[in-house]
Amino acid sequence: MSGKYIFVTGGVCSGLGKGVAASSIGSLLENRGLKVRMIKIDPYINVDPGTMSPYQHGEVYVTDDGAETDLDLGNYSRFTSAPLGRINSVTTGQVYQEVIRREREGRFLGRTVQVIPHITDEIKSRIFRVGDQPEVDVTIIEIGGTVGDIESIPFLETARQFIHDLGRQRVLFVHLTLIPIVSDGEMKTKPTQHSVASLRQIGIQPDILLCRASVPVPEELRRKISLFTNVEDEAVISAYDVHSTVYEIPLIFAEQKLDEIILAKLGFPATSCDLSKWQRVVEAYNAAERRVSIGLVGKYTELLDSYKSIYEALYHGGIDNHCQIELVKVDSDQLSDGAEGGLEEILSGLDGILIPGGFGQRGIEGMIQAAGYARRNRLPCFGICLGMQVMVIEYARGVLGWEDASSSEFSPESKHAVVSLLEDQIDVKAYGGTMRLGASPSRVVPGTKLHEIYGRTEISERHRHRYEVANVFREDLVKAGLIFSAFTPDNSLVEASEWPDHPWGIGVQYHPEFKSKPIAPHPLFSAFVAACMGNESS
């Protein structure tokens, strides 16, 4: 074993941005020529977030191999080129499930099964599965939750054991903490001191502190933090709020020589660093003068993280088109009454509408109303997963005149269930991991808008859904003018649809947002934003 390991922990409170911090570190190390791998540890007992409400956990990020994972893997994908899959996501549920399975099989030879060593050994094995590869230089492990949480203790204990197993020269601890500002404008360091003290009680002395604050932390305060936490002055980094784009964070860390400090502490040579790609992204974002207003009509708009990858992919499309994206979150429940005046009032100022994925009946009628408004008013409309299904349902109602058109998910008795369950899913009672998940190929039909956007006929995209366009109604929909522009290779399932005689009305059954990066925007999002720019209401 020759790889080295960086553990990223958080203190004081949750939601400080450990995922972005870990991703930025990974990006900086990649720019130094190192091969990086990323792991997210979530301390909840769920096996994965697949059955959790977006209000509980934010979006579910899907990898090529079909793993339903934490949204921070999306951050890892957007900031680094590290490969991501099932093995890069670890939860308490997975760990205990495996240890209990082995105990039931008698694999522990009658011994008492305990947190130490059996649970911690299982956690180690999952980390080594990723990091103990000859081509890997550094593995970055983000431990979810906050130091002091009872759920995180086994993972922090495992991290502590890495010091003894591998030695200090191969293990580094980065701790993200909060510097609150009280009413008189004074920055307070006491929460950081207590957070580090909690870590040290576990046996972990952080090597680097990332101090989150709304403004840069002054040098005098950083020296005080260094004195009270036993962290070197230069390793106390100011992680202040950015006012442009989150992709500026690697540049902010590099200015404070964070990557140089990490290289020195882990014994890597000080190679050159090329940050030009991040500089170009930030410059393009800041230089954009045009602005387009895009309404996201969804069911979970109250929580920003519910559609994290979609929001980021839209920003990527904006960067690619040199424009700013003004996101307008529209709760689809607001539109469910269907009054045309209400639709006009809420949607009339938008340059485009995006209808994202989701599950369950709540808010569906509002999404259908939004799709109809976009189709009738020739407003660019992008449907993703459920959003595509909604566009097909609306077309069946509005053009074919099937007033009862729906999905069997919402209206099992409908005579025109133009979206229905796959036959092999009808009797499935469990919900975790039973959907069509992960990357699969699709065939794009030449001559369609989709083909023009991709520029090829074979694509691979990631899926996460259980329902499909019903083949029994496919011919009727095509005769009514609806264009199906992509299929599975065997032509058995619809993968994309387009409205005829419309500037930009495209729905896709897959999730293109999961493959978009700021330095390589997904072509569908770039094309959608470009269409919205052509429709600028301002």
Which is it for strands 381-384 and 36-42: parallel, antiparallel or unpaired? unpaired
DSSP state of 366: H
- Vertex 309 angle, CA 307 and 417, to 5°: 55
Contacts of residue 258, defined as CB under 8 A and 6 or more positions apart, other chains included, come to: 25, 28, 208, 237
The rounded mean pLDDT for the chain is 92
pLDDT the model gives residue 536: 62
Q: How far apart are CA 537 and CA 293, in angstroms?
A: 8
Instruction: In the chain, list all ranges with CATH 3.40.50.300.
Output: 4-280
Residue ranges in the chain modelled with pLDDT below 70: 1, 337-341, 422-434, 536-538
What is the per-residue pLDDT across 372-405, written as a single tens digit (0 to 9) for each? 999 999 999 999 999 999 999 999 999 999 999 9
The Cβ of residue 275 has, within 10 Å, a number of other Cβ atoms equal to 16
Overall fold of domain 288-534: Rossmann fold (3.40.50)
CA atoms within 13 A on the CB side of 82: 37
With tokens 């962290």, the residue in question is 231
H or E, element range at 8? strand 4-10
One-letter identity of residue 345: E
pLDDT the model gives residue 115: 94
CB 213 within 8 A of CB 241: yes
Instruction: In the chain, list all ranges with CATH 3.40.50.880.
Output: 288-534
pLDDT the model gives residue 538: 40
- Vertex 166 angle, CA 162 and 168, to 5°: 85
pLDDT the model gives residue 123: 97
pLDDT the model gives residue 337: 63
- Vertex 417 angle, CA 402 and 448, to 5°: 80
Residue 117, preceding peptide bond in cis (omega within 30° of 0): yes
What is the per-residue pLDDT across 167-176, written as a single tens digit (0 to 9) for each? 999 999 999 9
Full-model pTM: 0.92
Q: How far apart are CA 357 and CA 464, in angstroms?
A: 9
pLDDT the model gives residue 342: 74
Catalytic residues: 385, 511, 513
pLDDT the model gives residue 250: 96
CATH number 3.40.50.300 is the correct assignment for the domain at 4-280: yes
